[in-house]
Structure 1
Amino acid sequence: MRYTDNDIPTIPLREFLSALGEKPVKSTEHFNVYYPPYRDDSEPVFVVYHTTNQWHDYDSDEKGNIIDLAKLLMNPALDKNPKAFIVRCMNDYEIGKEILERSSRPIEPVIIKLDIKNVRLTDFMKALGQEHPVAANGNLRIYKAPYDAKGEPTMVINTETNLWRDTKSGAYGGIYDLAYELTGSCNMAELNRYIAGQMQELEKSKAEKVELPKQESPKPKRKMRF
């Protein structure tokens, strides 16, 4: 939730203190005991009563509600309004809890419905934007190296073995080796997602191609006979 000035009377003091990073030394059903949050003290003399939502400093004998506490805690050079200080602290606290909750959620495994080992390298090159090779010789297809900034035609694919080799760098291998050259990742799950993502985009682009209806040539007009 996000707090406003209207929520301040209902904010429990113990929640406000949690937002400030204060933890109770003692916690009971009716009250919590803290070290005073606005000064250094060797004794836990600051008590928050849950029923009344009031606090009492038994050393200085100061007491009050959440706004009175905010006045003691806020920096006058930065905060002029105790209500604004309370709302900001509580909203920052809520945002922090949301981030922590999201980060602690288990990540569901991504199921990839693709037999990646059997993906043809020539199809993968199409997915990378190279519809056709630069040259072909028998079962060899020459492409511009997609992992090279210069994009020189040094990558050769053998369509029979479904393997590739770079004639310049000497790099070679299968589709996973090519994906490594492109991503720099050695994580198999990341490589699977990358390859599957590229192939999915290729299939999507194929599906989006709609054949235009053929335009029929206009029929010749009949000549009128007299």
Structure 2
Amino acid sequence: MRAEKSESTSVFQHIESALYVINQLCIGFVTIWVSWTCLRQDLSGIRLHAWLVTFGFVFLMAEGMMCFYDGSWLTVRYSRKYKTTFHVVLQVLGGGMGVAGCLIQLIRDDWSVSVTLHARLGFAAFILCLISLLSGLAAVLARSIGRVVSPLINKTFHVVLSFAAFVIAMMAQFYGYTQTGIFSGQGQDFVILMQVVTMVAMVLTSIGAIKSLYQKIGSLAS
């Protein structure tokens, strides 16, 4: 029985590692292509917005979320302390770039939100990301505020917020390919490919967050 269980665990670990590699390829493809599309022209206006939110949300925030993922061969050898440090740095940088990108677009639009689904989702991600960054700071200082709010409750709240902000940001990215006009010259088939790859990256990145949320909810319930 132990041998069968060990073999089953090993197979599962290989699957997680394979999904991790696929996810890295998807994230890299989206980040590199959007960066190249925006940087090869004048990096201002809508292109600056697109580059900041893509590099911040799709790349840095996704990498930050996967720091604790069991299949991550980049962080698997590090202790929990170092993983937390990597997570905090990547989330702050990614969230900061994403928020900056949204602010730039809001300023360009005179602080009004467009009626497009992309703009509405982007604004929602902007608000959630700001709250998530604050809750993340509280999670880091959990021991200091433990008398006021349970560290487990605060961390669970942070995971929920971060997960929601990431998913909504990725959905905004999905609709941004067709509603911003940046990729109109790439052809419809390529735009569809970008959307599919973005959704695959969102789903695969979410695995670790869902597992973490499940564990924390289980701990709260017990």
TM-score (norm 1): 0.21
- Point out which structure has higher relative CO (alpha carbons under 8 A, 6+ apart): 2
Bigger share in helix: 2
| Rg larger for | 1
